[in-house]
A and B are shown apart, each in its own frame.
Chain A
Amino acid sequence: MQIEIDEIAKSFGSTTALHPVSLSIPSGALVALLGPSGSGKTTLLRILGGLEYPTSGRVCFDGQDATGLSVQDRRAGFVFQSYALFRHMTVFENIAYGLKARPRASRPPKAEIARRVTRLLQLIQLPEIGPRYPTQLSGGQRQRVALARALAIEPRMLLLDEPFGALDAKVRKELRQGLRDIHDETGLTTVFVTHDQDEAMELADLVVVMSGSQAGGRIEQVGRPQDIRARPATPFVRDFITA
């Protein structure tokens, strides 16, 4: 699905989180929002997911205005920084949650839900952990379960907030490849937020470099990793990617 961000701005009270930004994300792309803290990258992701409402501007999905679309109707698979797994549910129940929460008319039958959950557990290469509780999993396993849970609702796009932030270096490397594989397999338009330029450069097709200031976050440069490396558009980008 193609995403169009049109002059989106966001302020919380007197502080401005996002200066008006515009961005076009082609269908099926794997995009990194890269920037230091305070650059508004998470705010932008949350606006895409419907968790925040922009102060001004529009978001369009496949050419249609989706700014006022409620989070429930948006069908954006969202992976949270803390993973936000439901602690009182097993892994199986976590993944099945989005399907069971559907209105009765569009809810798949039980057997179908079980089949889909099993398939997703295979996709994240953890076929055995269905009956376990989140507290019994390692950090990397939790992240993958969060990803499977987001995929279960057959999302139109995948949004990930610092997906590897809480993991150690070795697991991080493995999971990067895992995300790449899942993206290639599903073909979903995927946007992830990171402050780690290696991660952005290695994983994404398209990198959006953002910077923060008193006037709010803004987009410094959008481009393929190799282009950004070769031709940083502003001094900020040059400093940030060589840091």
Chain B
Amino acid sequence: MSDTAPFPIRPARFRNPTEETPLVRRLAILAAVLGLALLVFAPLLVVFAEALAKGWLAAVTSLASRDALSAIKLTLLIAAISVPLNAAFGIAAAWAITKFDFRGKAFLITLIDLPFSVSPVVAGLCIVLMFGTNSLLGGWLVAQGFPVVFALPGIVLATMFVTFPFVARELIPVMIEQGRAEEEAALTLGASGWRVFRTVTLPNIRWALLYGVLLCNARAMGEFGAVAVVSGKIRGQTATMPITIEMLYNEYLSVAAFSMAALLTCLALITLLLKTALERRHADQLSAAHRH
């Protein structure tokens, strides 16, 4: 296979064969920066700009109003109820799924993931249909003096629905990866079930648990669609922070709406900060999808 044709020698600068040309690289970076600037950074800035459009005093005053404070309290209360419940569910589900073998496991996981593929509005609708005053169960509960829809329990349920998979999804891959050997070893040493969980399992999953709780909390405090359907939007009673933002915005109270939004944006930024810190420091104890 000898070939006597002269080589087409390229005097141009040698290029690494697994890299794009500098021009292509620059254009790609530019597109990425520009896209994120228009979609993410600019909206972030505008929230604070609009909140402070009339100065700090106006922003703080709007947040100190009775309705605003009640919305903040309600949102905190909802998160304080729904997040621990979902964390408990996540731990129980991950334990059942990763420590035992049973038929229908894949189906169970699909069911747990279900809320991610249901529109929040449809989730709210489901809760209204089940517990609304014109449903059998809802009517009875109202008669007992325990209304669900247009009241706190409904908002908590809606919030739990949309955040349901967060913790379980985070824990299951981590616990599959860690296997059962450590727990089995502890059992042979005579530890009780609870003790094994507290002293062996929990330390191994704590960062993944925190990660899941973090995301669950961010979504719980920020949920809008599902809550909008079930809350009834009663000012000072069932209006959460996101619902209050909508009401203020529709009343053209821009500073007040954006001040409340700025508060939630801070929450989102803190969540991102903690999440990034977890990904850097404890990558080995998070599910593989979050290691980078």
Q: CB atoms of A and B under 8 A apart anywhere in the complex?
A: yes
Contact at A68–B9, with CB atoms within 8 Å?
Answer: yes
Q: Which of B2-51 contact A (CB under 8 A)?
A: 2-3, 6-17
Contact at B1–A70, with CB atoms within 8 Å?
Answer: no
Nearest residue in A to B13 (C-beta to C-beta)?
A68
Contact at A66–B7, with CB atoms within 8 Å?
Answer: yes
Nearest residue in B to A186 (C-beta to C-beta)?
B1
Q: Which of B99-126 contact A (CB under 8 A)?
A: none
Distance of B11 from chain A, by nearest CB (Å):
6
- Complex CA gap A220/B7 in Å reads 31
Contact at B7–A69, with CB atoms within 8 Å?
Answer: yes
* B residues contacting the other copy or chain, number (CB 8 A): 15
Contact at A187–B1, with CB atoms within 8 Å?
Answer: yes
Contact of B14 among A61, A68, A155, A156 (CB under 8 A): A68
Encode contact with B along A138-154: 1 for CB under 8 Å, 0 otherwise.
00000000000000001
- Complex CA gap A200/B12 in Å reads 36
Of A27, A66, A69, A154, most B-chain CB atoms within 10 Å: A69
Contact-residue bracket for chain A: 20 to 34
Contact of A64 among B1, B6, B12 (CB under 8 A): B6
Distance of B225 from chain A, by nearest CB (Å):
39
- Complex CA gap A186/B2 in Å reads 10
Q: Do A73 and B14 contact each other (CB < 8 Å), given the known contacts A1-B2, A186-B1, A187-B1?
A: no
Residue numbers in B under 8 Å from A68 (CB-CB): 9-14
Q: Do A61 and B1 contact each other (CB < 8 Å), given the known contacts A50-B17, A68-B14, A71-B17?
A: no
- Complex CA gap A156/B16 in Å reads 21
Nearest residue in A to B6 (C-beta to C-beta)?
A64
Residue numbers in A under 8 Å from B14 (CB-CB): 53, 67-68, 70
Distance of A130 from chain B, by nearest CB (Å):
23
Residue numbers in B under 8 Å from A51 (CB-CB): 17
Contact at A188–B1, with CB atoms within 8 Å?
Answer: yes
Encode contact with B along A183-218: 1 for CB under 8 Å, 0 otherwise.
000111000000000000000000000000000000
Distance of A14 from chain B, by nearest CB (Å):
19
Nearest residue in B to A75 (C-beta to C-beta)?
B3
- Complex CA gap A73/B12 in Å reads 13
Taking the complex as formed, is A112 at the interface, i.e. its CB lies under 8 A from any CB of chain B?
no
Contact at A61–B7, with CB atoms within 8 Å?
Answer: yes
- Complex CA gap A147/B13 in Å reads 30
Taking the complex as formed, is A65 at the interface, i.e. its CB lies under 8 A from any CB of chain B?
yes
- Complex CA gap A67/B11 in Å reads 9
Residue numbers in B under 8 Å from A61 (CB-CB): 7
Contact of B8 among A50, A53, A73, A156 (CB under 8 A): A73
Residue numbers in B under 8 Å from A50 (CB-CB): 17
- Complex CA gap A67/B12 in Å reads 11
- Complex CA gap A71/B16 in Å reads 9
- Complex CA gap A156/B15 in Å reads 21
Nearest residue in B to A70 (C-beta to C-beta)?
B10
Nearest residue in B to A1 (C-beta to C-beta)?
B2
Nearest residue in A to B12 (C-beta to C-beta)?
A68
Contact at B17–A69, with CB atoms within 8 Å?
Answer: no
Encode contact with A along B85-105: 1 for CB under 8 Å, 0 otherwise.
000000000000000000000
- Complex CA gap A171/B59 in Å reads 75
Contact at B7–A70, with CB atoms within 8 Å?
Answer: no
- Complex CA gap A188/B2 in Å reads 8
Residue numbers in B under 8 Å from A27 (CB-CB): 2
Residue numbers in B under 8 Å from A66 (CB-CB): 7, 9
- Complex CA gap A69/B13 in Å reads 9
Q: Which of A16-30 contact B (CB under 8 A)?
A: 27
Q: Which of A52-98 contact B (CB under 8 A)?
A: 53, 61, 64-73
Encode contact with A along B165-179: 1 for CB under 8 Å, 0 otherwise.
000000000000000
- Complex CA gap A53/B17 in Å reads 10
Q: Do A64 and B3 contact each other (CB < 8 Å), given the known contacts A50-B17, A51-B17, A53-B14?
A: no
Q: Do A64 and B11 contact each other (CB < 8 Å), given the known contacts A50-B17, A187-B1?
A: no
Nearest residue in B to A49 (C-beta to C-beta)?
B17
- Complex CA gap A188/B3 in Å reads 11
- Complex CA gap A67/B10 in Å reads 9
Nearest residue in B to A188 (C-beta to C-beta)?
B1
- Complex CA gap A51/B18 in Å reads 9
Nearest residue in A to B4 (C-beta to C-beta)?
A62
Residue numbers in A under 8 Å from B1 (CB-CB): 154-156, 186-188
Q: Do A69 and B10 contact each other (CB < 8 Å), given the known contacts A50-B17, A51-B17?
A: yes
Distance of A80 from chain B, by nearest CB (Å):
13
- Complex CA gap A50/B8 in Å reads 14
Residue numbers in A under 8 Å from B3 (CB-CB): 154, 156
Residue numbers in B under 8 Å from A71 (CB-CB): 17
Interface residues of B (CB under 8 A from A): 1-3, 6-17
Question: 8 other contacts beyond A69-B7, A186-B1, with CB at 8 A cut-off?
Answer: A1-B2, A50-B17, A68-B12, A69-B9, A69-B10, A72-B17, A156-B3, A187-B2
